[in-house]
């Protein structure tokens, strides 16, 4: 397998990007194509033992930063590492693309310039894989589409369900619609209409779901408007951090607890690992003509490596073709 | 002060309701008017030492349950304990009303039947006081208004800010708009329009705020559409519980941590107390002609007592008149 890795993506590029890519090449044996400023890449590679690792370098003369405006940068820097890496997927030179770059720019470039939408897809959906205890839950959309129309939301359910089956080995995934209550009349206007569409979708749709039941693992795929999904995901992450902070403060507030906290360090290390989003990697963008995983700018090497693992699973599972087939049989029209 | 307490509100009525009311009467010395089925109330009172506590009983012949449809029940049971208790506030027989009852029914009854909207208020807003570490944060709307229009959202900011000043001693509260990013162009259509209105509102408005910064205490009042605010609040609560569960599991997974967990029990007790929403009480409904605090159906006696404390603070702070004045000077029109 050949995976194009944007070497200029993360906030601290190219160190986490290239380190994670080398770890992935070592562990999985896939060819990693490092895309970005060639000098910059070679300089960083000199710090590593690359030996006989299956690596290639493709020069990209332009660089989109986190400060760049997404759609402006998408137009004004047509040879950015993001453009070049995604174009390699579109042309078949790579099987998948992984980037920790400017999410807005990546969405624009992949959707409108290079990979483009799969026929029948109303809006590609950014899809987070959330680890809760031993379970993995799919959240889609996690932020690409605010003010999502009901038909988009229903399609997110279809694409999320296909991803669960083909990349996560979870056929017939239970799909829930994130809402402010589980009763049928809960939700806002868009979600109530999406609820009706999802009921008729042929999916294993379980109806509205509240955050509490999401965390109990009552559904495998959580569907949401991108604004709501983003607030939900960020609240989960922020609350996990907050709880760790509260516990840390309380553990040093009396001598007995302090000793307890010291002894319980192995447990807290495991907790930190359980809630570490980097253990999972990045977010697949579903609904475009190719596998692309978008990681957080703050990603470390572990997150980059795990994003590459997600890309492999999506390629192996034939996610893109499965979405194509599912949407063809699902009889969705191509009108927006 | 005279506070009307719906004795038939909580899931396990009348025990938590009446127990909490007696605790409040004992601690604060206010007169508590127990509203509900008189036999039921007297039967429960027989289990307590009420001595010379300032109590009154007002019989309400009807009872709205959690299973009742809000607007149907509001019409078909005009002499429910919720109607009677809120009517006492409207008529001046009570200074405030507290209920753990069917939230939808309470909202309908208070807004449309008994207390009614303050002139100029587009939509009353259900307002949660969230404890994060040592800080208290106001979230408004927490669920009464899905699909909130931008002008409603801006008014939630005004009312939340007034509440902070008059009931919580926090003048010039920093108001933030819950969003999927802090940049000005983030948000959905409604929130971006609300952002413009809030900028011109004269409030101490700090702009869009992400969940992470909410939890860091960067704002005092968080404004949101009711659907988003509800998902946010429920995600916080569910994630806090989830973290406690994860930590509990990991603490028994190895002997050293197990001993540590045992020693750290005092710390974990403090943590549980910090994240216990019942430590704060219920949610004030802002924008109606009277003080009303709505607690969760699952409330225990502590939550009922603390809801009564919140009612007292709102009465002492003259919240209702302050909102009236603020909306009058704010020049908002009364058109919906």
Convert the pLDDT of each residue in B142-151 to its tens digit. Answer: 999 999 999 9
pLDDT of A336 over the 70 cut: no
Query: In this prediction, what percent of chain B has a pLDDT beyond 70?
Result: 98
DSSP of A164-225, one letter per residue?
HHHHHS-TT-EEEEE-S-SSTT-S-HHHHHHHHHHHTSSSEEEEEE-HHHHHTT--SEEE--
Conformational region of residue B147, where left means phi above 0, alpha means psi within -120 to 50, and beta covers everything else? left
Q: Per mean pLDDT, which range of A37-41, A152-156, B243-247 is the poorest?
A: B243-247
Contacts of residue B257, Cβ cutoff 8 Å, sequence gap at least 6: A263, A264, A265, A266, A267, B250, B251
Interface of B with A in 273-302 (CB under 8 A): 274-275
Sign of CA dihedral B165, B171, B172, B174: negative
The pairing of beta strand B31-36 with beta strand A204-209: unpaired
B178 interfacial to chain A (CB closer than 8 Å)? yes
Confidence of residue A330 (pLDDT cuts 50, 70, 90): low
Per the structure block, which two tokens stand in for B179? Answer: 């969003």
- Over residues B33-53, the mean pLDDT reads 96
Average pLDDT of chain A to the nearest whole number: 94
Residue whose structure tokens are 């239970």: A174
Q: What is the rounded CA–CA span in Å between residue B191 and residue A208?
A: 24
A1 interfacial to chain B (CB closer than 8 Å)? no
A305, A20 in Cβ contact below 8 A? yes
pLDDT of residue A335: 45
Closest CA relative to residue A61, chosen from A38, A44, A43: A38
Q: What is the rounded CA–CA span in Å between residue B334 and residue B336?
A: 6
B66 interfacial to chain A (CB closer than 8 Å)? no
A52, A79 in Cβ contact below 8 A? no
Q: What is the rounded CA–CA span in Å between residue A251 and residue A215?
A: 26
pLDDT of residue A331: 54
Is A271's CB within 8 Å of B250's CB? yes
Contacts of residue B161, Cβ cutoff 8 Å, sequence gap at least 6: B173, B175, B203, B204, B221, B326
Query: In this prediction, what percent of chain B has a pLDDT beyond 90?
Result: 89
Kindly list the distances between the CA atom of residue B319 and the CA atoms of A52, A121, A219, B315, B324, in Å, as whole numbers in the listed order.
Answer: 72, 50, 42, 6, 9
pLDDT of A334 over the 50 cut: no
Phi, psi (deg, nearest 5) at residue B59:
-75, 130
Least CB–CB distance from B228: residue in A211, A228, A266: A228
A72 interfacial to chain B (CB closer than 8 Å)? no
Q: What is the rounded CA–CA span in Å between residue A140 and residue A222?
A: 6
CB atoms < 10 A from the CB of A297, how many?
16
pLDDT of A332 over the 90 cut: no
- Over residues A52-70, the mean pLDDT reads 95
pLDDT of residue A59: 98
Three-class secondary structure of residue A285 per DSSP:
strand
pLDDT of residue B279: 82
Q: What is the rounded CA–CA span in Å between residue A127 and residue B54?
A: 58
- Over residues A143-170, the mean pLDDT reads 97
pLDDT of residue B330: 64
Confidence of residue B331 (pLDDT cuts 50, 70, 90): low
- Over residues B200-228, the mean pLDDT reads 97
pLDDT of B16 over the 50 cut: yes
Contacts of residue A135, Cβ cutoff 8 Å, sequence gap at least 6: A217
Contacts of residue B233, Cβ cutoff 8 Å, sequence gap at least 6: B128, B130, B139, B142, B143
Q: What is the rounded CA–CA span in Å between residue B120 and residue B323?
A: 10
Beta bridge partners of B117: B288
Angle, alpha carbons B211-B212-B218 (nearest 5°): 90
pLDDT of B335 over the 50 cut: no
A319, A162 in Cβ contact below 8 A? yes
pLDDT of B62 over the 60 cut: yes
Closest CA relative to residue B282, chosen from B74, B6, B1, B91: B6
Nearest chain B residue to A256, by CA: B263
For an interface test with A, which of B180, B217, B248 has the most A Cβ atoms less than 10 Å from its Cβ?
Answer: B180
Closest CA relative to residue B163, chosen from B191, B132, B126, B109: B126
Q: Per mean pLDDT, which range of A129-138, B81-90, B162-171 is the poorest?
A: A129-138
Interface of B with A in 219-278 (CB under 8 A): 225-228, 230-232, 234-247, 249-251, 253-254, 256-257, 259-268, 270-271, 274-275
- Over residues B238-247, the mean pLDDT reads 92
Chain B nearest C-alpha distance from A115 (Å): 25
Q: What is the rounded CA–CA span in Å between residue A161 and residue B77?
A: 45
Interface of B with A in 145-174 (CB under 8 A): 146-147
- Over residues A201-219, the mean pLDDT reads 96
Beta bridge partners of A32: A3, A55
Q: What is the rounded CA–CA span in Å between residue A81 and residue A194?
A: 37
Residues A282-313 pLDDT 10s: 999 999 999 999 999 999 999 999 999 999 99
Closest CA relative to residue B4, chosen from B24, B13, B15: B24
pLDDT of residue B328: 83
Indicate the burial class of B221 (C-beta count within 10 angstroms; 0-12, 13-18, 19 or more). buried
pLDDT of A224 over the 90 cut: yes
B118, B288 in Cβ contact below 8 A? yes
A99, A295 in Cβ contact below 8 A? yes
Per the structure block, which two tokens stand in for B123? Answer: 């939509």
For an interface test with A, which of B177, B241, B257, B276 has the most A Cβ atoms less than 10 Å from its Cβ?
Answer: B257
Chain B nearest C-alpha distance from A199 (Å): 21
B17, B100 in Cβ contact below 8 A? yes
CB atoms < 10 A from the CB of A78, how many?
15
What is the C-alpha R_g of chain A?
A: 20
Beta bridge partners of A80: A62
Average pLDDT of chain B to the nearest whole number: 94
Buried b (16+ CB within 10 A) or exposed e, B194-209: bbebbeebebbbbbbb
Nearest chain A residue to B230, by CA: A180
pLDDT of residue B334: 44
């Amino acid at each position: 397998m050949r995976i194009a890795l944007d070497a200029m993506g993360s906030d601290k590029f190219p160190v986490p990007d290239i380190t994670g890519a080398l770890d992935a090449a070592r562990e999985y044996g896939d060819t990693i194509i490092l895309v970005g400023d060639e000098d910059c890449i070679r300089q960083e590679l000199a710090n590593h033992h690359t030996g006989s690792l299956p690596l290639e370098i493709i020069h990209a003369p332009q660089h989109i930063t986190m400060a760049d405006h997404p759609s402006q940068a998408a137009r004004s820097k047509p040879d950015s590492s993001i453009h070049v890496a995604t174009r390699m997927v579109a042309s078949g030179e790579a099987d998948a693309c992984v980037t920790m770059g400017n999410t807005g720019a990546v969405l624009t470039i992949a959707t409108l310039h290079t990979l483009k939408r799969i026929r029948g897809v109303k809006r590609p959906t950014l899809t987070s894989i959330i680890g809760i205890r031993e379970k993995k839950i799919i959240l889609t959309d996690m932020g690409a589409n605010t003010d999502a129309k009901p038909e988009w939301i229903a399609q997110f359910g279809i694409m999320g369900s296909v991803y669960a089956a083909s990349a996560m080995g979870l056929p017939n995934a239970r799909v829930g619609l994130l809402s402010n209550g589980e009763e049928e009349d809960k939700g806002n206007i868009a979600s109530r209409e999406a609820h009706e569409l999802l009921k008729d979708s042929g999916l294993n749709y379980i109806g509205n779901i509240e955050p509490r039941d999401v965390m109990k693992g009552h559904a495998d795929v959580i569907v949401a408007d991108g604004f709501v999904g983003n607030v939900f995901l960020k609240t989960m992450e922020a609350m996990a951090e907050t709880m760790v902070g509260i516990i840390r403060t309380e553990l040093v507030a009396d001598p007995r607890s302090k000793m307890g906290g010291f002894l319980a360090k192995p447990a807290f290390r495991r907790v930190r690992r359980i809630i570490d989003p980097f253990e999972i990697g990045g977010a697949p963008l579903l609904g475009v003509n190719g596998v692309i995983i978008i990681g957080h700018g703050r990603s470390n090497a572990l997150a980059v490596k795990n994003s590459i693992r997600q890309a492999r699973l999506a390629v192996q599972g034939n996610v893109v073709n499965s979405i194509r087939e599912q949407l063809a049989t699902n009889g969705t029209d191509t009108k927006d």
